[in-house]
Amino acid sequence: MLKRISTNQTKTMLLLMLVFTVVILLFSALVYFSIVNFSHQRFYELLKIRATTIVQIEKGKEHLDIPANHILNSTNDEELPMEKDYVFEVPRDSNYSQITSQIHIPDTFFKNIIKKGEDNYNDQEFYYIGQSFKSDDKTYIAIASAKNHYVVDYLGYLKRTLVTCMVLAIFFSMIFSFYLSKTLFKPILKITGKVKEISSENLHLRLEPQPGNTELNELIDTFNDMLNRIETSFETQNHLIGNVSHELRTPLTSIMGEADVALSQKRSEAHYQETLQIILDEAEKLDKKIKALLMIAQTGFDGKIQKMDKVRMDQLLWDVIETAKRINSKNNVYLDISMLPDNPKKLKVQGNEQLLHLAMANIINNGCKYSNFQQVKVSLGATDDHVYIIIKDHGIGIPDSEMDKIYDPFYRASNTKNYEGYGIGLPLARNIVRIHNGELIVNSKENVGTTVQIRFPIYVPTE
């Protein structure tokens, strides 16, 4: 696994370097060609001004007398670097070969000037711009040329600077890519190491959330939820294995003992009926305990997916209270709604209504039974994130020394001998609450009473 992450880390680093290098090259090329293009345009604008000035000067003369195929050559080093200006009459036969040989410009340049009125040309070192004009019914061409130091000197310096910057940028991008890839994979390596520590011996361990990493935290939450289910399943299995032999052996021993005594010798009809009645009673107890075991197993995160839907907790509690009173008219339950939120949507949870009903009914019925049918107060409230249920009774409570065993299936506190029950209500309720990503907390004091606090996350619609 670590080798695979290391390979992915190297691939990520190389990919980041490639992206950074391509971006740097693209931006460097954009900067270079933009400046080159700007310098060309700017220099042509300067030459155009010079060419226009030459035309105006020549037009201002009273008489312009330039022999055919002769170039009026003037040099003015004060205007532009190595500037040379030319004025000549357009040959009547449009043959520019003699002029071309003198100033080394292709004849297409002159033809374009006559056709368009203006044209430009460069030979990488010198830049030329020409304009045509008329004087004394003759057509002339004025050319301004100069050496573009921006391209020859300044752009050469720019090119060296950009190359140096690119080399440095690629070097630093390599360092940054290594650091970034290491930073990106560091939480994953940390999680991998933590996961390797988790086994059946320490299922209580959990992955810690990573600050500012929403996507990774979603994965961590999912993994922690899975650990919750596995841990609860292991706990349920351990409790069942520890208790099932004792709980099932007792009625089986009684059944086998009664049958053995009845078969040892002939008995009267009344004695057989009495024996069969004992066997039936013990079989019924055995049946109830097996059903209880199955119910706990089915709510112990054994991998089965329960059907979930929107459940209004206020409606569910009213239904539970009504059912409790139907089962036993002595049950006295009061629902406190003083803390209900203004928005009823905050009372909705994502859950299985039958399981939630079963959990609430077990806790409320226990409160009624162990308080000798005194009033049990059920309070319901909500915040922006959670629904809270508090069930409080004034019953016999639970001894402090036995609080750590209250979730063991079939375990019953030492002060409950006079009350009927099997010790599955609280373990079953906790399993159901856990299925719904909730939390169940029990606070109890002997001969004072018990308070059960339950918290569920509110229903959030999925987009």
41 falls in which pLDDT band (50, 70, 90)? confident
Is residue 114 over pLDDT 60?
A: yes
Specify the pLDDT at position 334. 92
- Chosen CATH of 309-457 out of 3.40.640.10, 2.40.50.100, 3.30.565.10, 3.10.129.10: 3.30.565.10
Q: Which of 31-35, 108-112, 140-144, 380-384 has the highest average model confidence (pLDDT)?
A: 380-384
Is residue 365 over pLDDT 80?
A: yes
Specify the pLDDT at position 168. 85
Scanning the structure block, which residue is given the tokens 């009344």? 270
Specify the pLDDT at position 76. 52
Phi-psi region of 303 (alpha: psi -120 to 50; beta: other; left: phi over 0): left
Distance (Å, rounded) from C-alpha 166 to C-alpha 159? 10
Q: Which of 218-227, 255-264, 449-458 has the highest average model confidence (pLDDT)?
A: 449-458
Residues 129-182 pLDDT 10s: 888 888 777 888 888 888 777 666 777 777 888 888 888 888 887 787 777 777
Distance (Å, rounded) from C-alpha 441 to C-alpha 453? 5
Q: What is the mean pLDDT of residues 326-335?
A: 88
Q: What is the mean pLDDT of residues 3-22?
A: 70
Specify the pLDDT at position 406. 84
Q: Which of 23-27, 294-298, 396-400 has the highest average model confidence (pLDDT)?
A: 396-400
267 vs 330, higher pLDDT? 330
Give domain limits for the chain.
2-152, 215-298, 309-457
Contact 118, 129 (CB under 8 A): yes
Instruction: Name the DSSP letter for residue 342.
Output: S
Q: Which of 28-32, 110-114, 258-262, 337-341 has the lowest mean pLDDT?
A: 258-262
Two tokens, residue 112: 């374009």
Q: What is the mean pLDDT of residues 104-110?
A: 84
315 falls in which pLDDT band (50, 70, 90)? very high
3 falls in which pLDDT band (50, 70, 90)? very low
Nearest of 174, 206, 180, 165 to residue 9 by alpha carbon: 180
Residues 406-442 pLDDT 10s: 887 777 888 888 887 777 778 878 888 888 889 999 9
Specify the pLDDT at position 439. 92
316 vs 170, higher pLDDT? 316
Specify the pLDDT at position 278. 81
Residues 236-271 pLDDT 10s: 566 555 555 555 666 777 778 878 877 777 878 788
The 3-state secondary structure of 389-427 reads: EEEEECCCCCCHHHHHHCCCCCCCCHHHCCCCCCCCHHH
Q: Please give the model's pTM, rounded to 2 decimal places.
A: 0.46
Specify the pLDDT at position 40. 77
Q: Which of 210-219, 280-289, 294-303 has the lowest mean pLDDT?
A: 294-303
Two tokens, residue 341: 């939120």
Residues 386-403 pLDDT 10s: 999 999 999 999 998 888
Q: Coil, strand or helix: which one is 340?
A: coil
Is residue 5 over pLDDT 50?
A: no
Which CATH class, in words, describes the domain spanning 215-298? mainly alpha
Two tokens, residue 444: 């109890």
Nearest of 66, 110, 103, 107 to residue 87 by alpha carbon: 66
Residues 43-73 pLDDT 10s: 788 888 888 887 787 777 766 666 555 566 6
